[in-house]
């Protein structure tokens, strides 16, 4: 009997010593995949590609014009006076420098536009990640780029894409 009382007393005091907490719950999100596979990401990519094609088409026209002018200068160069040939050569060089500058500016603008689009998507995705983290009691959620290795079991990218798409399907109808 004494043994039973002693055992019950020990068992009663055992929970007060504290059980170990739940292990930390960690998740990983592949942001590049979210950007590439979400509906908003796909729309942004299509819009960006259209802008890129427009810029590329304009630059291609200018390049073809420069090639045509160079060809004309090469053909007619023998018939022109030295002074005229130098003037045309300088004009061609100036247009070529302007073309190169336009290419560089276009590339910078497109890169900036791509970064802006990605930043907008990332802001929306971050909200979704926080929501999932709170709802499912995650201790830590990392980006794929911040991990050297992670098992498939902690990859929550599919959940993030699904919730992000759902949230963005509802958003336009709420605004109407």
pLDDT value at 131 more than 80? yes
Give the 3-state secondary structure of residue 136: coil
Q: What does the alpha-carbon distance between residue 62 and residue 5 come to, in Å, rounded to a whole number?
A: 96
Q: Give the model's confidence band at 138: pLDDT under 50 very low, under 70 low, under 90 confident, else very high.
A: very high
Percentage of residues in the chain having pLDDT higher than 70: 86
Token couple for 30: 């592949």
Q: What is the rounded average pLDDT of the residues 7-28? A: 68
pLDDT at 140: 92
Do the Cβ atoms of 73 and 89 come closer than 8 Å?
A: yes
Domains in the chain (CATH in brackets) are: 22-166 (3.30.910.20)
Q: How far is CA 95 from the centre of its chain?
A: 35
Residue closest to 34 by CA, chosen among 123, 136, 152: 123
Overall pTM surpassing 0.75 (yes/no): no
Higher pLDDT, 99 or 82: 99
Compute the half-sphere exposure of residue 143: CA atoms within 13 Å on the CB side of its CA.
10
pLDDT tens digits for range 55-87: 899 889 989 988 888 887 788 777 778 888 888
pLDDT at 15: 55
pLDDT at 170: 63
């Amino acid at each position: 009997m004494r043994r039973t009382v002693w055992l019950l007393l020990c068992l009663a005091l055992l929970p007060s010593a504290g059980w170990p907490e739940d292990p930390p719950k960690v998740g990983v999100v592949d942001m590049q995949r979210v950007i590439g596979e979400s509906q908003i990401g796909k729309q942004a990519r299509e819009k960006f590609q259209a802008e890129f094609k427009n810029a590329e088409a304009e630059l291609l026209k200018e390049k073809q014009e420069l090639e045509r002018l160079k060809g004309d200068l090469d053909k007619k160069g023998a018939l022109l006076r030295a002074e005229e040939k130098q003037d045309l050569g300088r004009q061609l060089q100036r247009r070529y420098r302007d073309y190169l500058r336009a290419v560089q500016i276009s590339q910078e603008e497109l890169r900036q536009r791509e970064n802006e689009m990605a930043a907008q998507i990332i802001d929306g995705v971050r909200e979704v990640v926080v929501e999932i983290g709170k709802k499912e009691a995650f201790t830590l959620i990392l980006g794929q780029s911040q991990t050297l290795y992670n098992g498939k079991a902690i990859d929550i990218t599919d959940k993030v894409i699904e919730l992000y798409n759902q949230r963005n399907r509802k958003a336009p109808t709420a605004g109407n």
